[in-house]
Amino acid sequence: MSSKENKSYYVTTPIYYVNGLPHVGNTYTTTVADTLARFHKFCGYDSFFLTGTDEHGDKIQQAAEAAGKPVMDFVTEIANTFKDTWVEFGFEFSRFIRTTDKEHKATVNHILNKIHDKGDIYFGEYGGNYCFGCERFLTDKELVDGKCPDHQKPTTFIKEKNYFFRMSKYQAQLLEHIEKNPDFIRPERYRNEIIAMLKGPLEDLCISRPKSRLQWGIELPFDKDYVTYVWFDALINYLSGIGYPDENNFKKYWSSCEHLIAKDILKPHGVFWSTMLMAAEIPLYKHLNVHGYWVTPTGKMSKSLGNVIDPKAIRAIKTQYGMDVFRYFVLREMVYGLDGTFNYDTLETRYNADLANNLGNLVSRSLAMVEKYRSALTPKAVKYSEQDVALKDSALATLAAVKTDVHNMELHRALEKIWQLIDAANVYIDRTKPWTLAKEEKTNADKTEELNTVLYCQLEVIRFVASLISPFMPESARKILLALGYNEAQLADLLKAEQLASWGMLPTGQKTTKQESLFPRIDVASADTKQAKEGSKMEEVKTQADVIANDEFAKVDLRIAQILAAEKVEKSEKLIKLQVTLGELGERQIVAGIGKRYQAEELVGRKIVVVANLKPAKLMGLESQGMLLAADDGQGLLELVGIDPLMPAGSKVR
Ligand code: MSP
């Protein structure tokens, strides 16, 4: 196989039932698929991303009846809503498949005939406990107090003649495949669940429904009195979506296929689908990636609780902050495989800390400095200091780390790694102090080269960051690269992993544009934010204590400061004189009463929080141009308010 053929990638979402609508759960799975497809494109793969709708079966027929609409009209309306919503949210799927598509029906017939012809489908009678929610017979072991544990409803005993797929015939073969391929089903907990199912008795699968009971399905090619069981029909979308039995795309993509699902549909995928493929003599897909559920802070999301985070809420987030913020939040917050809590407070905290303060601040201050010191033209790096090389090395190492995390389905970690690079870039700026170099170069020509190099490194690391985030946050990546002076036509070539193999690709003399509002800070209590919260119908319980108005608190300018020097004030027991830097706000002297608790020497280098806009005061004849924050229990216990050392000096604390 040539290396070009090897570089194909295929990712799927479940096809969503058309008796429901988009919400945060299915939007999440689709976001992950979109990110993976983009990431693989970015890495030079030919990516195919399939999503769509599951439109047959009892549930759908009943929903259409309840809506008083002809079934086909009903399913088309909802399928269009899904498709339009995904387009509106910016998902770049390659195909939107519907199980009512003609080609899909043809593929289902093809597979049914193949398995039937080889004798793996037989006619028989079966009586069992049927869950209409799951649309399948549940085993006695699966019932909890006689009810389906997922739908919390009693099952119905149904006995009828039907067609059965000899699933049990493939039990041992599937177990062997899973044992030989440890990451076939991941994460491990779900692999273990499937192994446990395969180690117990496995019944054959009923794959038909008599038309006397259900008409809304794909007719069996070998018996016109029956329709195909909805799961048997739906799972085949993963093949019909790439044109199977036509070999073209199948050959290209199938061996790389990654299915994304949540834990609710583990058994149909892990067991039904895998054995169906074995019976049809089609090689198995590459990975089944199983994620947990999104829940709200008050528990499970459900329509009856009125806390479903639906497109209205997602749209409110998109309008207020941009779709990238939703993407960043869900991808950073959920550990793939575990449940995640969708909490607006966490979203806002992450937004302010990671996006506004960190990434936004890096971009805005770097571009502002280039404009101020170099007339908005990218300078030429001349000679690299140790710090410059360290930054370059971190940038070059990040891509490999991010690739590993994405391949292991640890997207939250991939983002963590990118944010470590952003942290390193912010620390680099604080250490190299371009604002000081700018002052010094007026009298010392050597400093001009140094400042050029520092500014270049800042911009070049921003190019790395923009490229690395592009699969996760495509709009922001675009905005940043345009601000760095690239034009639209250059973006497609630029957004490629291979562009990150070497440092120094950012051209010199490129015209940059200031970017102040990439991620404007959120005022957590503002009306706009509330609007997003209300859009979600999330219950918001606020306690009223002694309160001050938001604008009163906003008057206090709290900043991170780094202590540069500290010395005890002579003749004073308590006072220490500190020299601190507030980043771009410059240096200050602060006199603080912390001498009983701290030695002057141990304070140098620490990051603290200070009130930066306090009227200067005199203490023992020394001017104090600010006040530091410390916790005081009133009985002698005193502790400086600390902060992560990675936070750059000058950052606002809110
Ligand atoms: N139609 C079947 C799938 C057939 S695939 C061959 C189905 N549809 S569904 O509409 O119920 O979608 C289930 C999927 O939606 C989950 O597996 C998951 O991808 C997504 N989610 C639905 N609710 C979710 C959460 N609360 N949290 C996370 N994902 C959720 O099952």
pLDDT in tens, 274-316: 999 999 999 999 999 999 999 988 777 777 777 788 888 899 9
Query: How far apart are alpha carbons 215 and 209 in whole angstroms?
Result: 8
Specify the higher pLDDT residue, 399 or 138: 399
Query: Token pair of 471, please?
Result: 């699969």
Gap from CA of 374 to ligand 1 centroid (Å) = 52
Query: How confident is the model over 304-348, as pLDDT tens digits?
Result: 777 788 888 899 999 989 999 999 999 999 999 999 999 988 999
**pLDDT confidence of residue 633:** 66
The number of helices, as runs of H, and strands, as runs of E, in the chain is: 25, 27
Q: Is the CB of 293 under 6 A from ligand 1?
A: yes
Gap from CA of 93 to ligand 1 centroid (Å) = 17
The pLDDT of 401-408, averaged and rounded, is 97
**Residue 2 pLDDT > 70:** no
**Residue 158 pLDDT > 60:** yes
Query: How far apart are alpha carbons 353 and 324 in whole angstroms?
Result: 15
**pLDDT confidence of residue 544:** 30
Gap from CA of 216 to ligand 1 centroid (Å) = 21
Q: Report which of 53, 33, 45, 22 is spatially closest to residue 241, judged by C-alpha positions.
A: 53
Burial class (CB in 10 A: 0-12, 13-18, 19+), 57: buried
Per-residue confidence band for 620, with pLDDT thresholds at 50, 70 and 90: confident
Per-residue confidence band for 603, with pLDDT thresholds at 50, 70 and 90: confident
Specify the higher pLDDT residue, 550 or 123: 123
Average pLDDT taken over every residue of the chain: 91
Q: Report which of 541, 514, 492 is spatially closest to residue 366, judged by C-alpha positions.
A: 514
Least confident range from 353-357, 421-425, 544-548, 570-574: namely 544-548
| Residue indicated by tokens 């570089």 | 7
**Residue 150 pLDDT > 90:** no
Q: Is the CB of 241 under 6 A from ligand 1?
A: no
Q: Is the CB of 33 under 6 A from ligand 1?
A: no
Gap from CA of 265 to ligand 1 centroid (Å) = 7
Q: Is the CB of 273 under 6 A from ligand 1?
A: no
Pairing of strands 340-341, 294-295: parallel
Q: Is the CB of residue 631 less than 8 Å from the CB of residue 597? A: no
The pLDDT of 103-117, averaged and rounded, is 98
- Tell me the β-bridge partners of 126: 160
Gap from CA of 130 to ligand 1 centroid (Å) = 20
Ligand 1 atom nearest residue 265's Cα = 17
Q: Is the CB of 307 under 6 A from ligand 1?
A: no
- Tell me the β-bridge partners of 607: 562
Query: How confident is the model over 441-484, as pLDDT tens digits?
Result: 999 989 999 999 999 999 999 999 999 999 999 999 999 999 99
Q: What 3-state DSSP class applies to 615?
A: coil
**pLDDT confidence of residue 646:** 73
Gap from CA of 193 to ligand 1 centroid (Å) = 18
Q: Report which of 89, 104, 97, 94 is spatially closest to residue 9, judged by C-alpha positions.
A: 94
Q: Is the CB of 28 under 6 A from ligand 1?
A: yes
Q: Is the CB of 264 under 6 A from ligand 1?
A: yes
Q: What 3-state DSSP class applies to 484?
A: coil
Q: Is the CB of 22 under 6 A from ligand 1?
A: no
Query: How far apart are alpha carbons 235 and 268 in whole angstroms?
Result: 8
Q: Report which of 390, 456, 451, 445 is spatially closest to residue 423, judged by C-alpha positions.
A: 390
E strands, 143-265, in order? 147-148, 153-154, 156-165, 185-186, 205-206, 208-210, 219-220, 223-228, 257-262
Query: How confident is the model over 184-236, as pLDDT tens digits?
Result: 999 999 999 999 999 999 999 999 999 998 999 999 999 999 999 999 999 99
Pairing of strands 627-628, 607-611: antiparallel
Ligand 1 atom nearest residue 273's Cα = 6
Tell me the residue type at 138.
L
Most ligand 1 atoms within 8 A of CB, residue of 11, 16, 21, 233 to mutate? 16
Query: Token pair of 445, please?
Result: 């020509």
**pLDDT confidence of residue 527:** 45
**pLDDT confidence of residue 530:** 52
Which residue, judged by its Cα, is nearest atom 16 of ligand 1? 262
Gap from CA of 264 to ligand 1 centroid (Å) = 7
Per-residue confidence band for 538, with pLDDT thresholds at 50, 70 and 90: very low
**pLDDT confidence of residue 523:** 75
The pLDDT of 487-498, averaged and rounded, is 94
Which residue, judged by its Cα, is nearest atom 23 of ligand 1? 25
Per-residue confidence band for 435, with pLDDT thresholds at 50, 70 and 90: very high
**pLDDT confidence of residue 54:** 97
Quick one: what percent of the chain has pLDDT higher than 70?
Answer: 94
Q: Categorise residue 415: left if φ over 0, alpha if ψ from -120 to 50, beta otherwise.
A: alpha
**pLDDT confidence of residue 537:** 40
Query: How far apart are alpha carbons 245 and 243 in whole angstroms?
Result: 6
Q: Is the CB of 14 under 6 A from ligand 1?
A: yes
- Tell me the β-bridge partners of 617: 624
